[in-house]
Structure 1
Amino acid sequence: MSERVTPGRTDGLITLGAADALWVGLTADSAVPTASGALTRSPAHAQTGYVLLGGHLVATVKASGGQWRVPEAEVRRAAAELNTVCMDPQDLVRIGPFRQAPREVYDEGAPLRWRQRIARELQELDNSAQAARRGSSQSRHLTGIDWRQLLVERTRDGTQRTWWLPRAVVQLLDAAEHTETRWRQAPRIRRAITTVTESPSRPRKVRDAASRQTTSPERPTPALRPYTRELEGQLYSVLSRKPGTSRKVAGWACAVCRTAPATVLDHCHEHGYVRAPVCQSCNTQERPDHLYSNDIRVANRYTRLFHTDTDTWLRHWHRCPGCRARTTLPLPHLAAWTAHIACRALRPTHRAPRGRKPCGVLRVSWTGNQQAPRSCLFTVAVDSCPSGEHRVLARVPYREAADRFGVWLAETAPAVAAAAGPDRLDGLPAQFRPVIADTSGDDLELF
């Protein structure tokens, strides 16, 4: 039986069991499903001094009698933040598996590292004995979120299994991981500052473990700084080798969504320039759905990239001086734009229960490359047509596609188009870098 929550009891602190019940009750109508035992089941571990709820960190306090408690107000705040999250179950982000399976062994109190945790648990469930417990009530949650209800498994080429989660959930988990990292680093930073500034004639006061655990739960987390074009014009091949680059990137907010912490430097693989620091979710969304070395499947994500958030993404892609000067996009992006926008009127439709539905799945491939524009040709086709009637819709030369894009850009995002143009070619490489075929299965190599 769950414990009844009494606001204001014990100076606003409630037991973990009461906090579990409060979390489930307050998030019952949330778009993101939550799990019971959010503060008492693994990977939550009160003895580390905090628990994660959604993207929020709640400090734990060891009260009299050795019982762990949390501030009721913080649990309510975490639930209120989660309830504001809008989730599109069709907007998915691939979370694995990638090249290597994680080898870490996770004990109680280990850092979140949620991607590795999911990969490890799913790999364990491949064993028949553990697979029988897939629906067990003891299944682990992540920051109080029942990720099992949201996980989507897909099989590519009939053999490779991939795992996907809604983008809103990925952003929540990334935010929680970033907040946890800052929290764990804060004591080390404070100790380093104290060591440097401490007077030799005045001994430092040492706090015991118990006093550290009862520290005020309102410890501030350093704010993320907005990205203001500090890396513009720099080459990724040079910047990525500089010491401290990763730590510097982690201090920025994502340059696209501006809310999640940045984790990677997005860069143009054709010109080699850094675009901006972005979060893992936006970095995944930015990449086209890559199938083969010269073939792109035009998935539903392009509705957002070329319709809903067009100005944001065009501005981001044109952070590359090469793309901006030539008023174009990298070859895979331009191919996807050609299929999704320039050839939209050519796509057949079929009858559906609610009107008409676009036929099949768009695919665009190319021959030649952008180093020889006269020889480069896009072929737009339809796959998986219900009636098997349609195949090739159009063949568009690269130069024609680039010209169409320039016209569309001026009409759709005039501010972005105004910053582009051939008068800004000084200092740019004379030739594009060749597009590198992706042979790893990680979908990372083209962009």
Structure 2
Amino acid sequence: MRNENEVSAGENLKRIRKELGLRQHEIAGEDITRNLISLIENNRAVLYDTAANIMAKNMNKIMYERDISIFIKPEDLLNPERYDARKKADTYIEELENILIKKEFYIESEKLNEIEAFLNQWDLVDKKVKIYELLGDIFYISNNLNKEYYYYFKALEASYDYPNMKERYKLALKLVYNCIITGKNEEAINLCDYMLLSQKSIPNKYKGAFYYNKALGYKYLLEIDKCLIALDNAKKYFKDSSNKDLKKVLMLEGVCHFRTGKHTRALKSYNEILKISEEKNDIDEICVAYINIIQIYIAKNDKEKVIKCFDKVMMNLPYVNEDSFYLPEIYYETSNIYLYLENYEASEKHLNAALALSKKSGKHNLYKKFISSLVELYIQANWIDKLHNLMSILENEFSNIKLNEEITLVLKLLLYYMKQNNHKAAEDIIINLLKKEKEV
């Protein structure tokens, strides 16, 4: 006998239908009658699997047409307990959205375990995708790359149980971006290829983004020819997109041509960026374009043209917005140009500005790169006291370096050669490793 507080399958069907704003005849379709639905909702007929399948299918069709991200399974109609579970999932979604709004990104491990256990217990596909994506967003903003990858991967994996999900490509792009940042370049390329082949309704702007990220993957794998082919494809889809997208393609194109020694073609790409940036008065991107042009003239050792272009950078630099994404890298590159011009004091000043900005913005990968350059500067300038002071500041960071078997082996070899006073052998190992690091 049914408890008077217990919700029947028919009553559950009615509350789900009304919550979705649907009428009986809309979920009946052509296979069952509206009258049967009325009987079921009033507990005068039994809701069987066949009817539940038909109604769920019709509900999802209407949700898709209305562009509402809800996916109803037959079990949602047959099992009233799943209704309460869906409501619980909505509270998790609201909590995670509030974390993003308030920018308080710490989540206790107990809370994460609670959410994971809930999602494992209840196979609520649409809620699972949303919750995992929100967790990925939170860890993306808080710069926890491993957890960001884990949750975006889980979200994308769950999405394949969500038929006709409209914006799966946006979720896939988030995962691709993480793969590029974390060096999973082959995975990024494969995912780009899969999405371009499997998702026919991707807007052109996003198709261009997949080709651009595919090109980035090839660039980091040093497969320059494949990178340029992917960039050509990206250009086709960015024709009607923003100038920002096109400039990213041109920038990477210029870098590729520069790496292969095709300086004239690289200059063409950078000058196209310069033209677009000057038309839009994008001060930071004007600086970036000139900096890349300067790299070509440095490679040619044309100091006169380096100075001429550098004057343009320094003329624009004071007007770059402090929140510009490019500003830390601009200061870093200007410090390198000063180093080329052997103006060590100015090089140090700009490098310290780059360090301060990277620390402020939480860009830890840039911070480490800039510290490495500061060490190189002090060595080149023979500023021994400053080098010692820097090393003492970084002493705690050295203790946190994680050693793998390869690094440990190299250190043991270096120590051995130093004890043997075979400084030449130690020096050769170090030089070869540093050359390899710069090639990457």
TM-score (norm 2): 0.27
Richer in helix (by share): 2
| Structure with more of its chain in strand, by fraction | 1
- The alignment's TM-score, normalised by the length of structure 1, stands at 0.27
